[in-house]
């Protein structure tokens, strides 16, 4: 009897040992630590010299030298003519492709940044060592925007929508989806007027009215704007500063509004895609959304992470200031 019990105990011990191998306790899944989470609450830059290994633990306060977007360089290349959307534009490429690591933590001293991030679901896994691209869509929301959201969602891609205020109310459901699905919503004026031809009062009204409408529908306080036609001057900048808003231009224009051909849009985006770029498209056109069916998986296949403008600027720039304009990074 005793022998039988001993044998049983030994068997039990062996079984338990086996179970321990199958279900090791507290084993960390490496997948959880891979990638980097970016949100308006958890972001910090890591010095350029940081190695991949210490990214998860090192928090470095951002310095102007390493991360601030070069305003001078931006200024020099963003003076677009009022007819910007009718001309081919390819701004200089970002000269530095910073490998900016991101860890949990909040950047000290860059209070503007967190304030400028908009969108409710900013949690998005980003690997700063891989190429980033910000697709931006202007002049919507349109009848095609929901399909675009479907495509983006299928591929886990993010984008930024510069909406015109006078269409926001009519397509409230689409606007809510933009925000709820983690994309960024931004201001493209109320009625798409050339802001440089307006009084300061009217510029302010174009921006504020749109902000108010976006807030009313989504609860998002919009801090990024793109002036129609990329047209701005000192007065436009001054009003932006007063309203606490920054202007986002672009580094590559797909001319989708002109070609209105899905294949041409595909070719343009694929030719213009480069790490760190902000790509200009228009979700107003069916052909642009048609193109995105193939563009988005193709970009991902090429290794691009499709991120919002704020995610891009956060990962590569680190600082956005109200009243300034951005289209490229240092």
Between strands 224-225 and 246-248, the pairing is parallel
Binding segment toward Zn ion, per CB under 5 A, in 4-12, 92-100, 132-140, 310-318: 132-140
Q: How far is the CB of 98 from Zn ion (least distance, A)?
A: 29
Note whether 139 binds Zn ion by CB under 5 A: yes
DSSP string, 53-75: GGTTT------HHHHB--HHHHH
* Secondary structure of residue 92 in the 3-state scheme: coil
Residue 283 touching Zn ion (CB under 5 A): no
Write out the two tokens for 59.
């928090």
Q: Minimum distance between the CB of residue 268 and Zn ion, rounded to whole angstroms? A: 17
Nearest to 126 by CA among 185, 218, 42: 42
How far apart are alpha carbons 307 and 299 in whole angstroms? 12
- Nearest-approach distance from CB 272 to Zn ion, in angstroms: 18
CA dist 68 and 316 (Å) reads 9
> Which residue in 221, 253, 222 sits closest to 137, CA to CA?
253
Complex with Zn ion: residue 40 or 283, whichever CB lies closer = 283
Q: Does 256 bind Zn ion (CB under 5 A)?
A: no
User: Cα(138)–Cα(145) distance, rounded to whole angstroms?
Assistant: 10
Annotated active-site residue 144? The verdict is: no
Using CB under 5 A as the criterion, what x/- string covers residues 210-229 for binding Zn ion? ------------------x-
Pick the closer one to Zn ion by CB: 36 or 134. Answer: 134
Is residue 40 among the annotated active site residues? no
Which of residues 139 and 253 has its CB atom nearest to Zn ion in the complex?
139
**Residue closer to Zn ion (CB basis): 187 or 305:** 187
| 47 φ/ψ angles, rounded to the nearest 5 degrees | -55, 150
DSSP state of 169: T
C-alpha 265/C-alpha 287 separation (Å) is 8
Which residue's Cβ lies closest to Zn ion? 138
Token code pair at residue 165: 């205020």
226-245: which residues touch Zn ion (CB under 5 A)? 228
Of all residues in the chain, what percent are helix, strand and coil, respectively (each to 5)?
A: 45, 15, 40
- Interface with Zn ion (CB under 5 A), residue total 3
Scanning residues 56 to 115, which ones bind Zn ion (CB under 5 A)? none
The catalytic residue among 144, 183, 282, 285 is 282
At closest approach, how far in Å is the CB of 192 from Zn ion? Answer: 6
Q: By CB under 5 A, which span of 134-142, 248-256, 294-302, 313-321 interacts with Zn ion?
A: 134-142
Q: Which among 40, 45, 138, 256 is annotated as catalytic? A: 138
CB of 218 to Zn ion, least distance (A): 20
> Which residues contact residue 182 at a Cβ distance below 8 angstroms, ignoring those fewer than 6 apart?
119, 120, 121, 122, 123, 124, 158
**Among 61-69, 137-145, 199-207, 236-244, which window interacts with Zn ion (CB under 5 A)?**
137-145
**Position 138 contacts Zn ion (CB under 5 A):** yes
- Catalytic amino acids? 138, 282
Give contact residues for Zn ion (rule: CB under 5 A).
138-139, 228
């Amino acid at each position: 009897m005793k022998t039988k019990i001993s044998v049983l105990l030994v068997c039990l011990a062996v079984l338990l040992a086996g179970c321990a191998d199958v279900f090791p306790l507290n084993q960390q899944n490496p997948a959880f630590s891979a990638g980097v989470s970016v949100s308006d609450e958890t972001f910090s830059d890591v010095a350029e010299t940081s190695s991949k290994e210490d990214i998860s633990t090192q928090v470095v306060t951002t310095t102007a030298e390493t991360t601030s977007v070069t305003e001078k360089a931006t200024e020099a290349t963003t003076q677009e003519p009022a007819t910007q959307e009718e001309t081919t534009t390819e701004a200089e490429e970002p000269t530095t492709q910073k490998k900016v690591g991101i860890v949990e933590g909040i950047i000290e001293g860059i209070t503007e940044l967190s304030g400028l991030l908009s969108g409710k679901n900013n949690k998005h896994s980003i690997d700063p060592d891989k190429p980033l691209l910000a697709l931006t869509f202007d002049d919507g929301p349109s009848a095609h925007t929901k399909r675009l959201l479907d495509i983006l969602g299928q591929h886990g891609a993010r984008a930024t929508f510069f909406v015109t205020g006078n269409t926001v109310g009519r397509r409230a459901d689409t606007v809510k989806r933009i925000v709820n699905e983690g994309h960024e919503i931004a201001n493209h004026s109320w009625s798409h007027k050339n802001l440089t031809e307006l009084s300061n009062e009217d510029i302010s009204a174009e921006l504020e009215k749109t902000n108010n409408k976006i807030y009313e529908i989504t609860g998002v306080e919009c801090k990024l704007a793109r002036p129609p036609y990329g047209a701005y001057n000192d007065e436009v900048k001054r009003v932006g500063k007063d309203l606490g808003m920054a202007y986002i231009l672009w580094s590559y224009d797909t001319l989708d509004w002109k070609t209105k051909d899905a294949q041409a849009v595909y070719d343009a985006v694929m030719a213009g895609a480069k790490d760190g770029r902000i790509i200009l498209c228009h979700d107003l056109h069916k052909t642009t959304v048609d193109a995105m069916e193939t563009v988005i998986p193709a970009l991902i296949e090429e290794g691009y992470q499709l991120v919002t403008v704020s995610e891009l600027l956060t990962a590569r720039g680190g600082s956005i200031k109200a009243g300034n304009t951005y289209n490229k990074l240092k």
